[in-house]
Structure 1
Amino acid sequence: MDTPASTSTRQQLLDYAQTLIRTRGSNGFSYRDLAEHVGVKTSSIHYYFPCKDDLLYEAVEAYSARALQAVRDIDTALPAREQLHAYLSLMESHACASNQEMCLGGMLAAEVGSLPERVRGALQGFFRAHEAWIARVLEAGATQGTLKFNGTPESAARAVFATIQGCLLVSRLFEAPPRLCEAISAIYVQSQPAGGTPAG
């Protein structure tokens, strides 16, 4: 059983691994980088994460759990249009903490060819959970008459989440805010107050 000290070391390693993945990708860092930052020997890292595949899997799971909890905390009593805007604002403020950090999911998706199957599965689960949440909100918005889109809620949700990931990537390139609300409203989702005129 882990002691408080060992748990703290494990968490430090996991937290910094997520930062490195978001800034460099999965192939852009080594256990030596982790060891130097946390102040342990590389052999100690192997105690917690026997191989890098184990570390990547745990990093995806930890990041996914934290990100999805933040999404689930959005008040479901809000009108669908407001839930969607709250989600986009959340992604703008947290998914890209700085111009140097990408969403961990988007960064690893670009490297999917080199990822082990277990990590790929966890990453797919992260994407599908976001898409399912967006689809639910889009369907509710269509019923409320405040969100309009082409196709099914599921296909529109996939398009919305893909656009979000693309916006985050481009915002990093140009060192500019993602402007997700603007992009989603302009391309995929027509958002309007009930009984009103279209609004962004």
Structure 2
Amino acid sequence: MDKNTVREQLLEHAQVLLMTRGYNGFSYRDLSALVGVKTSSIHYYFPSKEDLALEAVNTYSADVLSSIYAIDSSAPADKKLDRYARLFGRIVGEGDQICLCGMLAADIESLPEKVRHAVQAFFKANENWLARILAEGEAQQTLNANGQPEAAARALYAAFQGSLLACRLFQTKTRLDEIVQGVKR
């Protein structure tokens, strides 16, 4: 295996472990068993768990945000919100995992500072995007933010994150489907 392949595998497996177990729920030993390399090889690519978690968050964040920013800007706001909800649906998989940054937010007190800041940046980017869409939807009279798109965006994003927890708890995607209906006119 070449270095990039091993590194990419480590990141992919780390993301899944973070999404299903959280920051404190896995070790390099778990990761080495999944990828089939020695823990010393993991340390070669990621000297500390902080380095691994930060890279996993940054990679995950870049992937998710690029998908969000790729939503057709000419579409009506309510359709953009529907597409955003479908992106969240892909995160939950079969109902067994939640957003990587949502999972890490639950571990916030035990996260290294750089990882904490990366998680906060992910939340803020989502909230900012949602605030723009809600303001646009109010202007188009398709979405209702009660004249407070920033506050409504924070509440909506919290609802999306919470719905992923409920989807995981009940092993179903239906909780996610209900979120968008609350802001549509």
Shorter-chain TM-score range: over 0.9
Give the structure 2 partner of residue 198 of structure 1. none
C-alpha distance after superposition, 1:37-88 (max 9, x if no partner): 1111111111110010111100100100001111111101101111111111
Structure 1 moving runs of 4+ over 6 Å:
none
Which structure has the larger Rg? Answer: 1
In 1, Cα distance between equivalents of 2:75 and 2:177? 17
Residue type at the aligned position of 1:65: A
2:10 match: secondary structure: helix
Which of 112, 116, 124 is equivalent to 1:120?
116
Q: Which has the higher contact order (CA 8 A, sep 6+)?
A: 2
Q: How does 1:101-140 map to 2 (within 5 A)?
A: 101-140=97-136
- Which TM-score applies when normalising by structure 1? 0.89
- Which TM-score applies when normalising by structure 2? 0.95
Which of 71, 76, 79 is equivalent to 2:73?
76
1:123 match: secondary structure: helix
Give the structure 2 partner of residue 145 of structure 1. 141
TM-aligned CA deviation for residue 100 of structure 1: 1.8
Give the structure 2 partner of residue 33 of structure 1. 30
In 2, Cα distance between equivalents of 1:78 and 1:36? 45
In 2, Cα distance between equivalents of 1:53 and 1:78? 39
**In the alignment, does 2:176 pair up with 1:180?**
yes
Structure 1: 5+ residue stretches without partners: 193-200
In 1, Cα distance between equivalents of 2:72 and 2:175? 22
Structure 2: 5+ residue stretches without partners: none
In 2, Cα distance between equivalents of 1:42 and 1:6? 15
TM-aligned CA deviation for residue 151 of structure 1: 4.7
Judging by fraction of residues, say which structure has more helix: 2
Aligned residues: 185
RMSD in angstroms over aligned alpha carbons? Answer: 1.3
In 1, Cα distance between equivalents of 2:175 and 2:81? 14
